[in-house]
Amino acid sequence: MAIFVNMVLGRHFPKILISYGLCLLLSCSLSSCTETDVACLKSIKASLEDPFNYLKSSWDFNNSTEGYICRFTGVECWHPDENKVLNLRLSDMGLKGRFPVGIQNCTSITGVDLSSNNLDGPIPDNISAIIPFVTSLDLSSNNFSGGIPKALANCTYLNILKLDHNQLSGQIPPELGLLARIKTFSVANNLLTGPVPTFQNANISREDYANNPGLCGGPLDPCPGSSKSPHT
């Protein structure tokens, strides 16, 4: 018996290892590999400070029944018994830290709500590579700083984009006007300047731009140097 095992392992072990690895890779690519969604949530939990233990108490990765992450606080899955995250709602949990880039491994995520926390630092420049299918992104009421990334214009499925009540500065990338599905867009209460984008299919109100030091155009006062407000 031992000789047999020795023979098999000795000669064929590398082949077994390779084919096992290939099988794993194949199964990951043919179906949506939901090991990644577990890694996504683990990474988010690791990268954020959680002073009120909202995540610590509910996000327990030791229980491995099918679809277990679907029972986590703030996690909504595509199907109740499959670890595939649809929406992440972590609003008002006192969370601290940077934008959790580990969310990139939630490859089927469409809704991201991190509003009303204490997150800081920049919104990642490559946001459209991190959450390409996002339809609703709410980062409002945090301490995000730096510019609004142009890459948000590549998140073509965005319906709701809320960035209000942060410390975002610079200009709003005019390319955001290309987002054809936008219904809600808010950047009020930031440090933004310059002309507002011209949206194709949405009417953004004054309130959505309010309380920024130098925004102009659209529903606001005309930009300096132009004769009239640009119309959509």
Residues that bind another protein (CB under 8 A): 78-79, 81, 86, 108, 110, 128, 132-133, 135-136, 154, 156-157, 159, 181, 183
Report the residue number, 172 or 202, with the smaller CB distance to another protein: 202
Report the residue number, 68 or 133, with the smaller CB distance to another protein: 133
CB of 110 to another protein, least distance (A): 6
Q: How many CB atoms neighbour CB 147 within 10 A?
A: 15
Report the residue number, 54 or 157, with the smaller CB distance to another protein: 157
CB of 37 to another protein, least distance (A): 13
Backbone φ and ψ of 150, nearest 5°: -60, -30
CB of 161 to another protein, least distance (A): 13
Token pair in block for residue 142: 């945090």
Report the residue number, 110 or 186, with the smaller CB distance to another protein: 110
- Reduce the DSSP state of residue 100 to 3 states and report it: coil
Token pair in block for residue 157: 């499925």
CA distance 43 to 120: 17
The answer to whether 108 and 86 have CB atoms below 8 angstroms apart is yes
